[in-house]
Amino acid sequence: MKRHYMAALVFGLSLAGSAFSGNWNNLFDNELSNFEIWMGIPHDSVKGLPAGTPTSPDCHKGTPMGLNNDVKNVFSMIEEDGEPVLHVSGEIYGGLTTLDSFENYHLQVWIKWGDKQWEPRLHTLRDSGILYHCHGEHGAFWKVWKSSLECQVQEGDLGDFIPLAGPRAAVRTVAVEGTKRRRYDAASAEYTGGYISAWPETDKPHGEWNLMEIYSLGDTSVHVVNGEVVMVVENAQRADGKPLTQGQIQLQSEAAECFYKGMRIRSINALPKQIENKIRLKGTE
């Protein structure tokens, strides 16, 4: 059963005078006991599947493998340098989803790329993603991922914003000559939605760990990559127009090998000053 806790109950007593109102809660353990797994539709090239498993040339059409049916251990825990690490093989599209829903929180997780890539993204940028405010049924997007807001995890594009399967939001953006997407700009007065590029780009070289953080407060969220604010998402809404302020958190498998570690979360009652000072929000100009 999915559980939802109000932030103060999940993380304990308030810390007076601080934006953080609770202690860190570590989400990874060796059994992945805080998560469920949804597996999508394997590509036709995947070997070693149980007889009769539907496959697809694009992984978007057909019958997904479904809930807790990770027969190829796409999501597994390993140990690296004495600490638990999530290995995402990327071989089949899928989502590792928290059992709990969260609101008003600070999320941290470290990510680095492996070397393996798979069809249908064998020759494209390595890709994954941190989906947050996930709600509704599994498989809403491409029969794999939930309706959600995405903090993109892709080579050269850490922290981009993508709304998946219905939600919408507003981001301060500017047009950049020679690019196909608008880019986040804290100084801009123009708001747009859809897929928005993060800025600045602070990605570490291949094989090095990157620190990804999300601050979520009400219908606003802030993406922070390696200590830099790269995206501010405002006025998040569900497809029906209701405010989108809470939900599960989902890590993607999307045809690229990657590793996650140190995934933890704590409640907040305000944005920390060091974050607030770097952004502009509606009504605060």
Instruction: Give the span between the Cα atoms of 12 and 180, in whole angstroms.
Output: 45
Domains (range + CATH), the chain:
3-44+65-276 (2.60.120.560)
- SS3 state of residue 273: helix
pLDDT band at 12 (very low <50, low <70, confident <90, very high): very low
Taking all residues of the chain, what is their mean pLDDT, rounded to a whole number?
Answer: 92
pLDDT in tens, 57-96: 999 999 999 999 999 999 999 999 999 999 999 999 999 9
Q: CA dist 69 to 37, 54, 187, 191, Å?
A: 7, 13, 46, 41
The share of the chain scoring above pLDDT 90, in percent, equals: 88
Q: How confident is the model at residue 284 (pLDDT cuts 50, 70, 90)?
A: low
Give the pLDDT of residue 9: 33
Beta-bridged to residue 38, according to DSSP, are 67, 95
Distance (Å, whole) CA 119 – CA 166: 26
Average pLDDT of the segment spanning 190-213: 97
d(CA 227, CA 68): 34
pTM value? 0.92
Q: What is the pLDDT of residues 17-31, one digit of tens each?
A: 478 877 999 999 999
99: left (phi over 0), alpha (psi -120 to 50) or beta: alpha
Q: How large is the average pLDDT for residues 49-53?
A: 96
Q: Is 125 left (phi over 0), alpha (psi -120 to 50) or beta?
A: beta
Task: Give the H/E segment covering residue 12.
Answer: none
